[in-house]
Amino acid sequence: MSLQTSSAITMPMQLLAMTHGLPIHQVLYAAAKLGVADLLKDGPQTSSELARNLKVDESALYRILRLLASQNVFEETSPRTFDNTELSYFLRTGVPGSVRSIVIFRGSEFFFAPFAEILYSIETGRAARAKLYGMEAFEYMKTHPETARVFDDAMTNMSELVGPAVAAAYDFGKWGSLMDVGGGNGMLLASILRAHPELRGVLADLPATLERAGERGFLGGELASRSTMRPCDFFREVPSGCRAYVMKNVIHDWDDERAQNILANCRRAVPTDGALLLVEWGLPEGNALSAGKFADVVMLLLTGGKERTVEEYRRLLGRAGFRLNQVVPTSPDLIIIEALSD
């Protein structure tokens, strides 16, 4: 067989293999939602035992688990009997590094349904989610508390994963005080405060979010004496009182106009001897593979926001009165952008 003939067979199949991500995505969601990995924490079970505990159809469950086992998520140790693997361990609830809440969120209708309307976003440049729900994502969550809880759990999970790397990559302690604007449950701020014991922190977010943060207690215990909470709507005003301000994956949620509005409010709060620190996905030029390029399409469909290159952040920050001073890599694809008063 000639190389040309071989390529003609393998390249179409390579393209088709990329579409396998759809069923894999959703069977991961199903396994996470059902809590299969939690049921297997003490050892193998048959698909019949699992189906009985989960009150689902045994044959359908087996087929789902068989596909996941082919991806090294679970292992079929004997016919129709499954056990956890190193990968499925992280689908368990509450274990270090768990991604269960993120997978549940990404398989939910709120995240997943807009992908069926991708052509709408390409044709209009607008978020497909807004078309489906008739309002923007954060407005929708105000009246749908269960969706807000799933989103909240996922964002907390993500901050758990990246927080220690962010905290270790940059000398937050040199500023003395740090406000986490739009900081959700306070997981990132907690990671930073633990890594920098000389620092005091302020969690700033909407009142309902701060109420949930208090219930979660990530800033409790030994961090309670070094942390406070301030209500904040960053479209209206960012509270003053700290030298440094951090925002993780906030600016990427918004188009340039609204992002600049948020940054301008930050500029009014950041003192002349302070700094604004943006934690965002890096977006490399050219053909390099990056999580930022995946996230960019997600933002297009879900929020109308976008990921940006460093140069795009430089221009955006400049229009808001900041000067981009340095870019600090944290973990693969995440960066910290340090901006100072211009």
- Catalytic residue IDs: 252
Q: Which two tokens stand for residue 301?
A: 């469909």
- Distance of alpha carbon 57 from alpha carbon 50, whole angstroms: 10
Question: Whats the size of the chain, residue-wise?
Answer: 342
Residue among 150, 57, 51 nearest 108 (CA): 150
Kindly report the number of other CB atoms within 10 A of residue 323's CB atom. 12
| Among 178, 190, 336, residue whose Cα is nearest residue 270 | 178
Q: In whole angstroms, how large is the CA radius of gyration of the chain?
A: 22
Element (H or E) spanning 77, and its range? Answer: strand 75-78
Task: Give the CB-side neighbour count of residue 147, counting CA atoms within 13 A.
Answer: 14
Q: What are the angstrom distances between the C-alpha of 1 and each of 5, 7, 8?
A: 6, 10, 11
Q: How far apart are the first and last CA of the chain?
A: 64
